[in-house]
Amino acid sequence: MPTDFPIELLTLGQLCPLLHRKPATVYADIAAKRFDRLPPIVRLPGQRKLFWRKQDVLDWIDQHVQPAVAATVVAPNFRNANRKTDPITESQQSRRIGRPTKRQQFERLAAAREGR
């Protein structure tokens, strides 16, 4: 772009590498009106093409920088290493996410009927 213009406009093809997103993702965010996921859009009158001001994009990226968090080091507890874990905690950890199995559904149904 010539340096005569004080404002540099970016097209979708230039924006996507800066945001590490695909064009389809940007279009989906616009269609779903999720403008919080995008830098401010410039819509020029009489054009359907979308533009972004380069300075707005860089400022938007700067606003979303998260500070680094210091990692906490936890020393292993070797005293309790051989102790068996609590069975309740073990069952909660092994619990699967999602729909219960048919067997679990029937067991719950039978337990509910017995409770009546």
- Domain assignments of the chain as residue spans, ordered by start: 9-63
pLDDT one-digit tens code per residue, 50-68: 999 999 999 999 998 888 8
Tell me the pTM.
0.53
The CA distance from 91 to 77, in Å, is 22
User: Taking the alpha carbons of 77, 82, 83, 86 in that order, is the dihedral positive or negative?
Assistant: positive
As separate numbers, helices (DSSP H) first and strands (DSSP E) second, the chain gives: 5, 3
| Residue 20 confidence (pLDDT) above 90 | yes
For 8, the token pair is: 């540099």
Percentage of the chain surpassing pLDDT 90? 58
